[in-house]
Structure 1
Amino acid sequence: MRTTKHGGPRSWRRHGRTAGIPLVPAVVGLLACLAAAALLPTGGAGAARSAAAPVAGVTSISPAGPESPVAAPAATTAAAASAQPPASTPSSASSGAAPATSPSGSPRPVAAASAAGRIRPAVGYQGVATAYEAGDGNGACLFGPSADLMIAAMNHTDYESARACGAYVLVRAANGSSVTVRIVNECPLPCAPGQLDLSRQAFAELADPKVGRLPITWTLLSPAVVDTVSIRYKTGSSRYWCGVQVIGHRNPVASLEVRTASGWRQLPRTDYNYFLAADGNGCGGSIRVTDIYGEQLTVDGIAIQPDVAQATRVQFARH
């Protein structure tokens, strides 16, 4: 049992008589002062305001005993939350940045903070760029060959089980050069958080590939695209088992659901960038895709045609 040691009462000492003041008038004056103090209110306007409205950024808590847990103030809670690892090391330019807004000036949906995963909108990250031979542009995301080789492989940590697949990233070098790439591949360990393995073609836009390793900063983009989203069922899919993939999305995909007899069912995401219905429930039905900003696209009429990219008429909004 924890005990608290209390100090003894403070001893008030008399420092002798006050020169020139008789004892009786002094006592009378003291009593008058005490009576006047009793008539004053116990707190001024500031005290009343403090009791009525807590200061912004401070969490009100109820009194607790010596052994009772006390809730942390809001500032402490926020600091603890920010201590969790970000997608990579944020650049100094992002420190103290204002909340992200949409083109209309309104705040972006809160969903962007929770659904984005490690790579978040309106946050700058820093790392190093390396280069690899991209071949036909296919990679771990299984999008297939690409005519546009402005592509990159995301490091294993920020790849986050294919969550980064399809994301557009603006990469900047210290020399002022920049390039926009689409994430189509994974750079396995020991690729460090923040590292991007660019196609040689993309790396050449920043520096001579002979450099090998190049310090960079990068940010997530929501670019202008002309195509609509496509849906593809994985090879071997049927109404008993299926994998569903989203292609050509402007913003990173946060989740995918299929319509079942009991309602919408969210499918787990694999690290090869397909959402899997291992028991077939929902395969061939309506599909609902949600991006990191919380926007949902519902697609009907997509038949189970394995390994065929079926175009839709929808696309996520630009942010």
Structure 2
Amino acid sequence: MKTPRQAARQRRRRQRLMLGTTVGLTAVGVLAYLVMGLLPDRKTDVAPAAATPAASAQVRAGNAADKDTPSATPTATGTSTPTADASTAAARPSAKVTPRPSRTASTAAPSTGRIRPGATYRGVATAYEAGDGNGACLFGPSSDLMIAAMNTTDYETSRACGAYVRVRAANGASITVRITNECPLPCAPGQLDLSQQAFAKLAPLKVGRIPITWSLLSPHTSDTISIRYKTGSNPYWCGIQAIGHRNPVARLEVRTGNGWRQLPRTDYNYFISADGRGCGSAIRLTDIYGEQLAISGIALRPNVVQPTQVQFARH
């Protein structure tokens, strides 16, 4: 038989056990609540994870475009500002041209440089004595003196050589001239130094200086392109020049054992192979519209104009 003291002791033991159990359960509940609160929300985690690959792809695409597509916009310091929208100046191969055996269509037009198809430029015209028609482009003497010297900025390391441009004066008169020379400073961007014969068709020579607009032209011609190796060319070094092209030449390449090799251009309008690789082999020309002409059978004969049977398409 339990004494009153023993009964009281058992009651106190049961109370402590029940209190401990309650505290333990409460602590477990609080801990579970804290753990659930610290777990990341699955809904907020899914969206960034799904967006990450798309953002990375855009960055890569942007970098590739910056690398592969040179800018064709004239520098901000130039005053030869095209009045046409930049979108009209994009150079593309003509879809109407049927390639001949020696002609291939480029998948992407090269950079057109400062002088762009479809753009109109503003500047002034002056006059100079053209002599026999030869100039910085080193095309040689010419019986046709409807020629001009391009300002240094738009000459752009001879990229303008051979370009045909339509020149218009404020009085409505217009002429077509071929770029054969460079007009050094102080000729400003947009300026054309016309032969006296060409200037006289726009205004009296005594005027000396007139405002003009001008734009690139792809004229009708029955001539074909010729190739000339520079004096001193040999199997170990050579300079190559294209003459009589309808459209400005953007690139010249030579065939080597490793494929086509692009040659750097000089300000005197020759493309140079400094180590002789490709000298005397097949030549490939690309105009600013992206059309390519492959020419073979040109011998390594210095300072000899060798005609071909090809010409760039008219645009």
Alignment TM-score, normalising by the size of structure 1: 0.70
Q: Provide runs of 4+ in structure 1 moved above 3 Å.
A: 80-88, 95-106, 108-112
Structure having the larger proportion of residues in helix: 2
Q: Which amino acid aligns with 2:81?
A: P
Q: Does 1:240 align with 2:230?
A: no
1:177–1:205 contact (8 Å) kept in structure 2: yes
How far apart, in 2, do the equivalents of 1:81 and 1:103 lie?
Answer: 19
How far apart, in 2, do the equivalents of 1:152 and 1:168 lie?
Answer: 9
Shift of 1:116: 1.1
Specify the SS of the correspondent of 1:235: coil
**For the structure 1 residues 83 and 142, does the alpha-carbon distance in structure 2 shift closer, same or farther, using more than 3 Å as the test?**
closer
Please, which of 141, 144, 150 is the counterpart of residue 154 of structure 1? Answer: 150
Shift of 1:128: 0.3
For residues 90-116 of structure 1, what are the alpha-carbon distances to aligned partners after superposition, in whole Å with 9 as ceiling and x for unaligned?
A: 354x2587567888789x98955x521
Q: Structure 2: which 5+ runs fail to align?
A: 1-53, 56-61, 63-70, 98-104
Q: Does 1:269 align with 2:265?
A: yes
Shift of 1:85: 3.5
Q: Which amino acid aligns with 1:225?
A: T
Mapping 1:189-208, distance limit 5 Å: 189-208=185-204
1:88–1:158 contact (8 Å) kept in structure 2: no
Q: Structure 1: which 5+ runs fail to align?
A: 1-60, 63-70, 72-79
Shift of 1:84: 4.6
Mapping 1:209-224, distance limit 5 Å: 209-224=205-220
Specify the SS of the correspondent of 2:139: coil
For residues 273-297 of structure 1, what are the alpha-carbon distances to aligned partners after superposition, in whole Å with 9 as ceiling and x for unaligned?
A: 0000111111000000100011000
Q: Which amino acid aligns with 2:187?
A: C
- What's 2:80 paired with? 89
- What's 1:225 paired with? 221
How far apart, in 1, do the equivalents of 2:208 and 2:151 lie?
Answer: 16
- Higher relative contact order, chain-length normalized (CA < 8 Å, sep 6+): 2
For residues 16-71 of structure 1, what are the alpha-carbon distances to aligned partners after superposition, in whole Å with 9 as ceiling and x for unaligned?
A: xxxxxxxxxxxxxxxxxxxxxxxxxxxxxxxxxxxxxxxxxxxxx96xxxxxxxx9
Specify the SS of the correspondent of 1:145: coil
Specify the SS of the correspondent of 1:90: coil
1:111–1:292 contact (8 Å) kept in structure 2: no
Specify the SS of the correspondent of 2:198: helix
How far apart, in 2, do the equivalents of 1:176 and 1:102 lie?
Answer: 32
2:74–2:113 contact (8 Å) kept in structure 1: no
How far apart, in 1, do the equivalents of 2:191 and 2:107 lie?
Answer: 27
Shift of 1:190: 1.1
**For the structure 1 residues 82 and 193, does the alpha-carbon distance in structure 2 shift closer, same or farther, using more than 3 Å as the test?**
closer
**For the structure 1 residues 111 and 206, does the alpha-carbon distance in structure 2 shift closer, same or farther, using more than 3 Å as the test?**
farther
Specify the SS of the correspondent of 2:302: coil
How far apart, in 1, do the equivalents of 2:249 and 2:195 lie?
Answer: 23
For residues 180-216 of structure 1, what are the alpha-carbon distances to aligned partners after superposition, in whole Å with 9 as ceiling and x for unaligned?
A: 0000000001110000000000000100011111100
**For the structure 1 residues 152 and 259, does the alpha-carbon distance in structure 2 shift closer, same or farther, using more than 3 Å as the test?**
same
1:254–1:291 contact (8 Å) kept in structure 2: yes
- What's 2:296 paired with? 300
- What's 1:315 paired with? 311
Shift of 1:89: 2.9
How far apart, in 2, do the equivalents of 1:105 and 1:243 lie?
Answer: 33
Q: What is the alpha-carbon root mean square deviation over aligned residues?
A: 2.7
1:231–1:312 contact (8 Å) kept in structure 2: yes
Q: Does 1:117 align with 2:132?
A: no
Taking only the aligned residue pairs, the percentage that are identical comes to 68
Shift of 1:266: 0.5
- What's 2:26 paired with? none
Q: Which of the two has higher C-alpha Rg?
A: 2
2:93–2:291 contact (8 Å) kept in structure 1: no
- What's 1:28 paired with? none
How far apart, in 2, do the equivalents of 1:303 and 1:82 lie?
Answer: 38
How far apart, in 2, do the equivalents of 1:81 and 1:229 lie?
Answer: 26
